[in-house]
Amino acid sequence: MNNDNIIEQLTQSEYKYGFVSSIEQEFAPKGLNEDVIRFISAKKNEPEYMLEWRLKSYAHWKKMTEPHWAKLYYPPIDYDDAYYYAAPKKNLKLSLDEVDPELLATFNKLGVPIEEQKHLAGVAVDAVLDSVSVATTFKSKLAELGIIFCPISEAIIEHPELVKKHLGSVVPYTDNFFAALNSAVFTDGSFCYIPPGVRSPMELSTYFRINAASTGQFERTLIIADEGSYVSYLEGCTAPIRDENQLHAAVVELIAYKKAEIKYSTVQNWYPGDKDGKGGIYNFVTKRGICLGDNSKISWTQVETGSSITWKYPGCILKGDNSVGEFYSVAMTNNKQQADTGTKMIHLGKNTKSRIVSKGISAGKSNNSYRGLVKINKGSENSRNFSQCDSLLIGDRCGAHTFPYLEVSNSSAIVEHEATTSKISEDQLFYFKQRGISNEDAIAMIVNGYAREVLNQLPMEFAVEAQKLLAVSLEGSVG
Amino acid sequence: MNMNTGFSKFIDSMRDYFENSNGTTQISDFRRNAWNEFERNGIPTRKTEDWKYVNLSFIGDIDFNYAKFISKINDIRKYDKFRTILPSAHNLIFVNGVFLPELSSPAIPQIEYCSLNTDTMLVNFSNNVNLNNRIKSHKNPFSLLSEALTDNYFSIRIEDNVTIETPIHLINILDSSDESIISTTRCNISIGKNSEVSLIETNYKTGNNAGLGINLTNIIADNDSRCTYYKLQSDNNNSYFISETNFLQNRGSMLDSFSFSLDGKLIRNDLNIVLNGSGSESNLYGLYFADGKDLIDNHTSIYHANPDCSSNQTYKGILAGSGTGIFNGKIVVEEDAQRTKAYQSNKNILLSNDATINTKPQLEINADDVRCSHGATSGRLDEESLFYLRSRGISADDAKILLLKAFADDIISKVKYTELQDLISNLVSEKFTSNGNN
């Protein structure tokens, strides 16, 4: 009936998952210097090679300047005013029953199905609260197949040869400012290795949480799929309300060997800040996968609804012949959120294919940008790319922007890019109303239909949560 | 912040010219400011977003001097041949940035033009906030150089309510017979209310030394005016052309813009359009063909500043040899520009594996009631179409040329001035023939 009302409600819906769990934490001193890095490394009982790598990264980071090319506006970040290490003190790593009950309650509030895991089966959760892995389930079951799924801090100690070979091979510490910072101070994350020919029997899943006040969380994820293997990895995030901006600079590296396939799905619902843009997470993520061997495949799917600032470009380097890269994204921004996200597809091998489907939804006073690169190298014969970037605008004070870069150096490559921008039209709403469907339901249905192409790519458990998230973001209009 | 010392000689030489031109003409604050800004920014490097694909090292390698026209050239009749390129047009000839009335077509009543070193119109253009606020963030550094160094501003004023039947042809000639030269022009054109005009800008070079021509053209199209603007660059004679054309379109005005970049070691065209009045419309067409080691870079920016405007862009490119094509098309829909329609398409054909296309269609949308779309493609000639033609007894080369012609004709056939259409058609055919046989 009244579009303005709906838009107002939509743009004012409060963050549902805002709460702080009062778990005692252990902090490293505020600020960043070599001592803090040594402290983190020592806390993690890391071998010498890691400390060296961290210090090299730190030395390189000091020489770099923060990038500002993205269409993002935020106050300068004081890197010396953050804690780089925080760990829950009552850290129990044994069975699920011994985990701090308050922590479990926190996850339950978020809807993380740790308690239900045993019954639901099919999802192994490596739950990360701030920086230390607290509970790992289904580890033994995976171990039978030879799959290594553990916190990266554990892998550094127990599988040094795998870590040494692969860590930083896709995202070197010299890659960019935030990757260098992450390499120096990362505290935990997930490590996953799928041996040759193994198909992971369940979706691997991790929940990231940012909990302690002003703690930058620096996660590092490394997934290696050996020859002919398959893995589907889920990452989901929610964070409690904070009035101080929180910095998050994660690095995710995927490596797919010959005929291997990695499917990486993300649902991101961090605190986006209140309706005036106060608080909220700063999310500067470097995600990149490499299709190292022939006939390999990497697929990224993301649903981004949170963070006040998103700076994220999951990419694929298609090195092996006949390799495939995919990127499916729904990015929703509201209030004063800003998202600058997209992908990079670098075609090196012959007959490589990539597909990009990006759906942006902007509401309120938010800004949503797609920024992507498709690069076809000279030797990449018969490569193919298709990109589609659509933007949906809800309200007249939001912005939707597209910055696609197409660089083609091979005549046999076919590259196509298309983008459209539109709003929910009166015609569409009229059609729904004619059939007795309220305005609110109509908008929700249109948005869901608009994002369907991407949501369909998510594994079942996540598709449900993603739809829930879109509904929450649309709250007020859908009730 | 120019850290590249390779350009310091060039900048020093330009500075000498700038400071010494004080003797002949007054250096206004405007020129001084432009110079200061140029010197502050320096020559763009690969790290400058707007120039990331362009190799400008030739500026440091070639010993460019600012063109001194008056003292060097005595026989102006040698430029006569340029009048025959488009004999039926109203030809205005510029050599090394200086207007030559002796060679140009005789003046006609509805058009008022003059070459001056002070001009009130200059002030109008330079202080036009609607135009300048939008383009200043990506100001072409070479345009600053043109603003700082050009002594004579050429201006054309078209009265209200007139239809100029004869197209106005501005011929920019670089004469590098004596030395490698850089020459700059500044041209201001204002089109009166409800008037109609066709403008053609072409670039040529004579002489065997290198030549860098920098053209800055500002056009204000008043209410309900109709303008067709053609730019043709086809000169493969060690020539470098960098140009910026700015349009400010007032209420209800119509613009058809054509850009044909067919030959030149380096061609860089910035086309900025501000749709400043509601109901105004722009149609942009472009065809570029880079072969050899040519680099052709087209940057277009369309600012939808008011509601109910529409823009349409079709740029097509053919890249052969080791040629490089760059297309950067930006559409900005500002906050209150509701009911905007903006379309853009960029299609490219690569004929060789040494050719490269870098395209970046860009949308920045800040209003919700808009219909905007863009598309960009790159590929080679369709194998099936080639097969179809070959199965009917057409040789491989002919089939290739036929398909390329069809691709280019999309743009060429839209040229309304037949003499120009024929000229372009012939130039393109020649290029196809020379590239089709390898």
Q: For each of chain A's 479 residues, which pLDDT tens digit applies?
A: 455 555 555 455 555 555 555 555 666 677 788 888 888 888 888 888 899 999 999 999 989 988 888 888 888 888 887 777 766 554 434 445 555 565 555 555 555 555 443 333 334 555 555 444 444 556 677 888 899 888 888 889 899 999 999 999 999 999 999 999 999 988 778 889 999 999 988 778 765 545 444 445 788 899 999 999 999 988 876 555 554 557 888 899 999 999 999 999 888 877 777 777 777 788 899 999 999 999 999 999 998 887 888 999 999 999 999 999 999 999 988 888 899 999 999 999 999 999 999 999 988 888 999 999 999 999 999 999 999 999 988 878 888 999 999 999 999 999 999 888 888 878 888 899 999 998 877 887 888 888 888 888 887 767 776 776 676 666 543 32
For the record, the structure tokens of A189 come out as 């994350």
Q: What is the number of CB-based contacts under 8 A between chain A and chain B?
A: 114
From the list A406, A410, A423, which residue is nearest B368 (CB)?
Answer: A423
A112 to chain B nearest CA, in Å?
36
What pLDDT does A14 receive? 55
Number of Cα atoms under 13 Å in the Cβ half of residue A208: 29
Distance from CA of A176 to the nearest CA of B (A): 15
Reading the block at residue B427, the tokens are: 């130039």
Structure tokens at B377: 């493609």
Q: Is A386 on the interface with B (CB under 8 A)?
A: no
Check CB contact of A402 with chain B, cutoff 8 Å. Answer: yes
Residue-range definition of the domain harbouring residue B236:
5-436
The first and second tokens of residue B285, run together, are 């067409």
What pLDDT does A102 receive? 56
A423 in B contact zone (CB under 8 Å): yes
Q: List Cβ neighbours of A115 (8 Å cut-off, separation of 6 or more).
A: A104, A108
Helix (H, G, I), strand (E, B) or coil at A294: coil
Whether A405 and B360 lie within 8 Å, measured CB to CB: yes
Q: Are the C-beta atoms of B75 and B93 separated by less than 8 Å?
A: no
Distance in angstroms (rounded) separating the CA atoms of residues B415 and B408: 12
Round to whole Å and give the CA distance between A371 and A358: 10
Chain B residues inside the 8 Å CB shell of A410 = 350, 353
| Interface ipTM > 0.90 | no
A417: contact with B, CB 8 A cutoff: yes
Highest-confidence range of A82-96, A119-133, B53-67, B100-114, by mean pLDDT? B53-67
Query: What's the pLDDT score for residue A106?
Result: 52
Hey, which residues does B384 pair with through a beta bridge? none
pLDDT of B117 over the 90 cut: no
How close, in Å, is residue B44 to chain A by CA atoms? 16
Tens digits of per-residue pLDDT, B374-432?
A: 999 999 998 999 999 999 999 999 999 999 999 999 999 999 999 999 999 999 999 88
- Provide the chain A residues 51-80 that lie in CB contact (below 8 A) with chain B: 69, 71
Interface contact flag, A416 B367, Cβ < 8 Å:
no
CA dihedral A348, A351, A357, A358 (to 10 degrees): 10
> Which of A65, A69, A362, A402 has the highest number of chain B CBs within 10 A, making it the mutation to test binding with B?
A402
Under DSSP, the state recorded for B285 is E
Q: Which residue matches tokens 């259409």?
A: B421
Domain count, chain B: 1
Q: Is residue B217 a contact partner of residue B140, using CB atoms and an 8 Å limit?
A: no
Q: Is A45 on the interface with B (CB under 8 A)?
A: no
- End-to-end Cα distance, chain B: 44
Residue B163 has pLDDT above 50, yes or no: yes
Q: Does the beta-carbon distance from B378 to A406 stay under 8 Å? A: yes
What is the predicted pLDDT for the residue at A459?
Answer: 78
State the Cα torsion B37-B42-B44-B48 to the nearest 10°: -60
